[in-house]
Amino acid sequence: MTRALLACLCALIWGVPAFAGEVTGTIDLPRRPAPGVNVDLYGKYDTPDSPPDQSGGGKLDGVVFLRSETNDVIPGSLPVPIMDQKNAHFVPRIVVVPAGGRVRFLNSDHMFHNVFSLSPIKKFDLGRYPKGDSRLVTFPHAGVVQVFCDIHAEMIGFVVVVDASHYAVLDASGHYRISDVPSGNYEVAVWAEGMSQFRTVGRVTVPTSGAAEFTASLVDPR
């Protein structure tokens, strides 16, 4: 009884379950191919000063998320991740939001960008706006939204809209850490660049305290 009351109190005050655990692990993805060379003969004034390092060698960009097998309540108040446009790249290249979440598209460049998407689950066109300005986009449905810049064809980003409230973007080695996960049973799903749909890769049980580990591989053993 005391624990239940404490849990409710914590949830009310911090919005975090009292017995939140953590899930860590590695999703082994295929290696990322070296990025394509930007073959732009004409944009001599558009050359970014210092494009971010996107050299090959790391794993494919990917996302892991946990679907509750009982009741996954997506909180009403969600943080709004920012997808910046910097040196003619989307930074970060992948953002994750739960269905119904919003993403802020910021322009930090001295030049125009024009973010748009033709993905069936969310089509939008933000037009051209100046440095320092941003636009908010709501993503009501789960799925993967590929975003482009109408002016710089080499710019590609992904908004991964998940039907879950616990998720993480994999780092270059495929490691992840998802914190504040209420105890319970979860389905583990992943998405990686090149996949058309989310893929369920297993199940994990989050204890009332401590961490659970889940590791999977999507690398073809051949």
Our finding on whether 128 is near other proteins (CB under 8 A) is: yes
Helix (H) / strand (E) element for 131: namely: none
The window from 17-25, 30-38, 67-75, 85-93 that contacts other proteins (CB under 8 A) reads 30-38
Tell me how far, at minimum, the Cβ of 114 lies from other proteins, in Å: 8
What gap in Å lies between CA 23 and CA 134, rounded to an integer? 33
Q: Is there binding between residue 4 and other proteins (CB under 8 A)?
A: no
CB of 140 vs other proteins, minimal distance in Å: 16
Contact at 8 Å (CB) between 204 and 186? yes
Residue 31 found at the interface with other proteins (CB under 8 A): no
Residues 83 to 112: which contact other proteins by CB under 8 A?
Answer: 110-112
Minimal distance in Å, beta carbon 84 to other proteins?
17
Phi then psi dihedrals of residue 10, to 5 deg: -60, -45
As beta bridge partners, residue 25 has: 176
Token digits for 130? 């100046």
- Cα of 207 vs its chain's centroid, Å: 25
| Selected binder of other proteins within 19, 74, 87, 116 (CB under 8 A) | 116
**Counting contacts by CB under 8 A, is residue 51 touching other proteins?**
no
Structure tokens given for 153: 């064809």
With beta carbons less than 8 A apart as the criterion, state whether 174 and 28 touch: yes
Among 17, 129, 134, 163, binds other proteins (CB under 8 A): 129
**Which letter does DSSP use for residue 147 in this model?**
E
Minimum distance between the CB of residue 108 and other proteins, rounded to whole angstroms?
A: 12
Single out the residue of 65, 90, 105, 148 in contact with other proteins (rule: CB under 8 A). 148
Tokens of 156: 């590609």
CB of 36 to other proteins, least distance (A): 5
Minimum distance from residue 155 beta carbon to other proteins (Å)? 9
Q: Which of 108, 114, 138, 208 binds other proteins (CB under 8 A)?
A: 114
Q: Give ∠ CA 177-77-12 in degrees, rounded to 5.
A: 85
Residue showing tokens 């017995």: 19
The Cα–Cα gap between 14 and 94 comes to 27
> Segment contacting other proteins (CB under 8 A): 35-43, 61-69, 199-207, 211-219?
35-43
Q: CA 125, 136, 165 angle in degrees (round to 5)?
A: 115
By the criterion CB under 8 A, which residues form the site for other proteins? 34, 36-45, 47, 49, 110-112, 114, 116-118, 123-125, 127-132, 146, 148, 150, 153-154
